[in-house]
Structure 1
Amino acid sequence: MSVSTRIAVIAVGDPSRHDEGVGRAALSRLRERALERPFPPGTLLSECDLDPGRLIRL
């Protein structure tokens, strides 16, 4: 039996609403890390504003 793992890291926030930006900062660091040590296949690193429809699609 094969086990498939999918990892999703989604930074949720909206700079125009003056959130603290922690999610975007963490995502930026993860992207930098991935250049040296790639994540497993299927890993999703993405940003999303506060729109629930876009978040569900991710």
Structure 2
Amino acid sequence: MSIASRIVVIGVDNEFRHDDGVGWAVIARLEERTADRPLPPGPVLETFVGDPGRLLGLREN
């Protein structure tokens, strides 16, 4: 039996709590990088604020 895995990179920040913004900055940099050096096929890049239930949907799409 084979279990398929999916890579999801999630930048977590909350602008209302005055976070440092590193999570979103990492996602932005990875998105910029893909123009010159594409990531391997399949990874999903997402930013996240608030509702943890949204994270569950990321692994299924």
| Matching residue of 2:51 | 51
2:26 is the counterpart of 1:26: yes
Stretches of 4+ moved more than 6 A in 1?
Answer: none
2:39 is the counterpart of 1:15: no
TM-score using structure 2 length: 0.75
More helix by percentage:
1
TM-score using structure 1 length: 0.78
May I ask how many residue pairs the two structures share in their alignment?
57
In structure 2, list runs of 5 or more residues that go unmatched.
Answer: none
- How high is the sequence identity, in percent, across the aligned residues? 51
CA distance in 2, matches of 1:10, 1:31: 12
- After superposition, the CA RMSD in angstroms is 2.0
CA distance in 1, matches of 2:41, 2:5: 9
2:6 is the counterpart of 1:6: yes
